[in-house]
Structure 1
Amino acid sequence: MRVLFVYPNLYTQMGFNHGLASLSASLKAAGHETRLVNLNENLPPVPSDDELWDLVCDWQPGLIGFSCLTQQYAEGLRLARLLRERAAAQSVLLPPLVVGGIHPSMVPAEVMADGVWDHVGVGECEDSLVELARRVEAGESPDDVRNFLSWKGGVRPTGGAPEPEAWVHNPVGEFPDLETLPMPDYGLFDTARITAQKHGWFGLMTSRGCPYRCTYCLNHKIIDRYRAELGRPVPRLNFFRFRPPGLMVEEIRWVLEQYPDVGTFILDDDLFTQNPDHAIAFCEAYVAAGFDVPFVVNSHVKQLDPRVAQALAKAGCRILKLGIEAGAVRVRKEVLKRNMSDADILETIKSAEGFGLHTSGFVMTGLPGETREERWATVELLAASGIGRFRTSLFFPFPGTESYRLSLEGGYIDADKVASLTDFTSSSALDFGADENLFIDKLATCMPWFVNSRMAGNPAAARYAPLVERVLALDARQWEAFKPSVREVDSEHSKAATAAQELHYAIRYNAFMGVRSDFFLAEEHGIEWLTAAAKPVPERLRELALAAAANEVC
């Protein structure tokens, strides 16, 4: 059978969808043929509605599968309705429409109630999608396949809004075994082009699962569903799974042969360092295989074993990413369910940097129930941490999560923005009132300036404090006029700080990333770190980098 995947991914970050690649690989291993329509403006030309319809008619898939994030679900729904309308108008028999991904997994009944889908997938569907394809191809009833909500008798109602009694909510199946799943189908995507567009950064996954129950993440909802529907406690669900290092070495070797422009691997595991034995074994296998491509991993401030940090540095880990999220202990504990102290965060950053790992922190602003003082606490914590870089996002309330409930109960949700936003960086989906909305926008846009202004004992603080005061004094109209010039103003101040040999953060690589100057100066001027890992630059190298930058400014 032919299976056509449709991936609405417009006006957000361009990337590789690990879930679709794994689904495609599983289908191909079962003898099916797959193809992808990837809708992303960074990969032009974006297929038009007519081109999508023509492909469906010409290629004649037996199944059409959509993968949707919350921000992209509206576009997926529009395309599905368009296919239904075109098929009805031209008397064409449309194959079953299936949708999966984060949004359908979180609110499957709401998605099914839209009435346009034949099947709604929940959770990890590699095994279930293969079974669904087999049933459809064989003409068997597809309404009792695990992990799917399906219409009773396999027949989708056509009149009016469907009632829940019209569909079957099948229980989930077992989590797929990473030791037996085939290697992801990297060829499903235009992977060479994506890799070039991302300047050689390439995503891999060595594990699945996360032990934490952060309120803004889907993991707690997914694990609760599996626990309830399989009737087993979490330790017996096989939620935390690891791909053997030997298989990862084979996969990486294949990737490097196929895509020679790979310059950095991003290990997209939720939490690479959660299992020290797996992390160390991977690092040792990576070194033994002779790979010299640096890589990046996700960690947790309470899950960095010194043995793992040492192994990462030896293997060439370039960046260690940490979820800090908020500076106020109360917000982390009560709003986000992230039970970690300031000391945990500061000590882990210090430890990682001591092993030569360049640290990167994720922070959010615009959190429900967060006060102005607590938003400033995020600034203060970053300033005190000395972290290598930080990425600022605007909180987004994913439907089905605990944080969505908190946002709804607090009366913060702006329904129009929730429906229209496609990313986490352009605007907040919550409404805190005009004054606080303005402050949050300024903070998210200029976070490096705020952090620099609070770096006690650092000469850069005196340079950036007046700039922050200037920004805070702007009214809404003045801010909108000033906002387009932020990158230019940042560049000017960074050049001056560099010339004065002041350690500082500047906006680099994208509009929401603040990067420590010793790192980006060394990188921009071709000065290597001590190892493949992004170690702090030795004083002499730092002086050379600063001098080179100062000469350019002058």
Structure 2
Amino acid sequence: MKDKKEFKVLLVYPNLTMMLVPSLAIGIFTNILKSKEYQVDLFDTTHYVSDENSSPQNRVKFLQAREYDESNDLGIRIKTDLLGDFRKKVTEFQPDLLMYSVVEDCYNQCLALMTEIKDLEIPHIVGGVYPTASPNTCINEPLINCIGIGEGENIITEISEAVRMEKPYDGIPGIWFKSDGKVIRNSRGPLVNLDEGIRPDFSLFDDTRFNRPIGGKIFRTVPIETYRGCPFQCTYCNSPMQVTLAREAKIGNFMRTKDIPLLRTEIATTIANHDPDFFWFVDDSFTARNKAEVFEFCDMYEEFKLPFWFNTRPETTTPEMMQRLKEVGAYRISFGIESGNEQFRKTVLKRNTSNADLIKQFDMLSKSGIAFSLNLIIGLPGETRDLVMDTVRLCKAIHGFDALTVSIFTPYAGTVLREVAVRNGWVDKDHITTHTTYKSALTMPPPYLSSDEIDGLMKVIPLYIYFPESDWDSLKKAEIDNPEGRALLSKYSEIYTRDFLGQDQQNDRKWDIDGASGCKSNTKDSFSITFNSPERITDEELIMLTMQT
């Protein structure tokens, strides 16, 4: 048995290249483990080059983000020897326990890291969203001996003590582990009490990890959580899975909100310890809560007034709320639209808001003075080109956004739409995803989109939304990877980058003529301000796409 002060834990954070802003979970775990007097260190893979462009790099490539220079703007030095550096870190630090925090996109990277040091036979636990969503896949992997399911705050202290004191894992809630050739599946423990005041400690991260481009500027950015869980049931997202699993385990409601005075203390402490000039609120949908709580947050946050970003749904906002959020520092908002076809969005994605209501909400939001972007998904199960163009038309009817975030549907474990895709034979049941700007994993028959068609659309979605329909024939040619297509893509991209993305959000913008596209002044475009999408899904397809029997 080791003395606590001699016990060493290495946190390992497999991450996609350049996925910026430090991990909140790693920050929380650092604080907890240090409070137990252990020696704690971190291996973070974010700054290592990969074989493919990362999601942030692809955002720039696909005209969804303003350009930035990783070295000059962010101060980042890209590294190359991921596995060699990891082995060096492990052999020099000599941890008694390795803790991996893993999402599905990084699972294969995690396995590569584990393979590199397999011969050292160091006790480990693999936790995070992916082991929670796909525990059998993880525990059946020969490299993995122990996984954590659900929240990790309590698990990490109990397993650390078990390893330190050389005790068995049998009584540790929330873990599965291998013992004598068998898998032991311990039941889950209670949900974490967010009001216990566990504040994240980001001191183990490289200082450049805080630098993030936002709206055309670089900010020193720190993540903050004000609530955990999501009240919605979107079928493309794995957040509803957490609610379902907690309910099935009979451990309570996964949706929990932090006490505002406690949140105020956490914010003040984070400012004192890390000196951020921007906060990144990681809540699934920031304004999807009791409206009085939003105003209570604003009254508290007025003391700080640091600029901040959050993600939310447009239908959860009001003019008064937006005005107050603007007063206390709201700098940017990301709003999820995902699909522009009302029937598909309501029945398949479980987003029960009409196009008319969305357009009305965005008309209000465009007057708030807060910059915002729209989140879209293409390549969804059962999606056709007509459905994608419905999304384009809805976006053209929306006023005020200054950026678009387009993701290729990713069949994450734990989502309803992954099960839909598996059941229809469009993705293998054992498929492991990569990031949301990488090639589609689905293989769908006509009339549904092929992987190549999705790739082509990914390049030009912002252009379809920005330019008038009279240019659409040329833009369709720009989807094709041939000399003519590349020349057209270059031509239109240059105009779009210069006239739209070339401005940061602080520049004054001329809004469009009435009825024109919402993204920019564009007098060529006279699209109607209303868009009622047709019903395109048959009853047979509805059964196929909604897991009905």
Q: Tell me the TM-score range normalised by the shorter chain.
A: 0.7 to 0.9
Conserved 8 A contact 2:238-2:413: no
1:135/1:368 Cα in 2 relative to 1: closer, same or farther (>3 Å)? same
Counterpart selection for 1:441 from 447, 451, 455? 455
Identity of aligned residues (%): 25
Name the counterpart of 2:380: 367
Within 1, Cα distance between the matches of 2:210 and 2:485?
Answer: 34
Given that residues 4 and 35 in structure 1 are in contact (C-alpha distance below 8 angstroms), is that contact kept between their aligned partners in structure 2?
yes
Using the TM superposition, give the Cα deviation of residue 95 of structure 1 relative to its aligned residue in structure 2, in angstroms: 2.5
Residue equivalent to 2:440: 428
Aligned to 1:393: 407
Q: Which residue of 2 aligns with 1:31?
A: 37
Match 1:248 to one of 256, 263, 267: 263
- Which of 27, 37, 44 is matched with 2:78 structurally? 44
Contact 2:338 2:377 in 1 (8 A): yes
What is the TM-score when the length of structure 2 is the normalising length? 0.79
Please say if residues 125 and 146 of structure 2, whose CA atoms lie closer than 8 Å, have aligned partners that are also in contact.
Answer: yes
**Retained in 2: the 8 A contact 1:443–1:450?**
no
1:330-349 maps to which residues of 2 (within 5 A)? 330-349=343-362
Aligned to 2:427, which of 413, 422, 427?
Answer: 413
Deviation at 1:482, TM superposition (A): 4.5
Q: Name the structure 1 match of 2:194.
A: 178
- Cα deviation 1:314-345 (Å, max 9, x = unaligned): 21212222211111122212322222211232
CA 1:491–1:335: 2 relative to 1, 3 Å: same
Q: Does 1:298 align with 2:311?
A: yes
Partner of 1:3: 9
Verify the 8 A CA contact 1:274 1:299 in the aligned structure 2. Answer: yes
Specify whether residues 189 and 488 from structure 1 end up closer, same or farther in structure 2 by C-alpha distance, changes over 3 A only: farther
Q: Secondary structure at the match of 1:188?
A: coil
Greater CA deviation, 296-305 or 124-133? 296-305
Distance 1:113 1:126 in 2: 24
Deviations 1:423-463 (A, max 9, x none): 2113222223697434322322211211123xxxxxxx27x
- Given the alignment, which residue of 186, 189, 201 partners 2:205? 189
Question: C-alpha separation between the residues in 2 aligned to 1:174 and 1:214?
Answer: 25
Which letter does structure 1 place at the counterpart of 2:435? D
What is the alpha-carbon distance in structure 2 between the residues aligned to residue 196 and residue 494 of structure 1?
23
Letter in 2 for 1:10: L
Q: Distance in 2 between matches of 1:536 and 1:450?
A: 18
Q: For 1:128 and 1:244, how far apart are their aligned partners in 2?
A: 23
Gaps of 5+ in 2: 1-6, 49-75, 513-519, 522-549
The match for 1:285 is 300
Question: How far off is 1:17 after superposition?
Answer: 1.2
Q: CA deviation at 1:18?
A: 1.1
Q: Is the 8 A contact 1:413 1:430 kept in 2?
A: yes
Task: Answer whether contact 1:11 1:422 (CA < 8 A) is retained.
Answer: no
Q: Does the Cα contact within 8 Å between 1:39 and 1:47 map onto a contact in 2?
A: no
Q: SS where residue 10 of structure 1 aligns?
A: coil
Q: In the alignment, which residue of structure 2 is the partner of 1:202?
A: 222
8 Å CA contact 1:28–1:34 kept in 2: the answer is yes
Say whether the 8 Å CA contact 1:210–1:271 is kept in structure 2: yes
CA shift in 2, pair 1:209/1:298, >3 Å: same
Tell me, yes or no, if structure 1 residue 274 matches structure 2 residue 266.
Answer: no
Structure 2 contact 301–328 (Cα < 8 Å) conserved: yes
Aligned mate of 1:168, from 171, 184, 190: 184
CA RMSD of aligned residues (A): 2.9
Aligned residues: 471
Alpha-carbon separation, structure 2, partners of 1:522 and 1:359: 9
Q: Which amino acid aligns with 1:309?
A: M
Displacement of 1:415 in angstroms is 8.3
With CA pairs under 8 Å and 6+ residues apart, which has the higher RCO, 1 or 2?
2
Q: Secondary structure at the match of 2:315?
A: coil
Counterparts of 2:212 and 2:316 in 1: how far apart (Å)? Answer: 32
Map of 1:100 onto structure 2: 127
- Deviation digits for residues 102-149 of structure 1 (CA, Å, limit 9, x no counterpart): 111100111000022221111111012111111221121113311111
Identify if the C-alpha distance between structure 1 residues 415 and 444 changes in structure 2 by more than 3 Å, giving closer, same or farther.
Answer: farther
Equivalent residue of 2:230, what SS? coil
TM-score by length of 1: 0.78
CA-to-partner distance for each residue in 1:186-219, whole Å, 9 max, x for gaps? Answer: 11212x3112354214322211111111112222
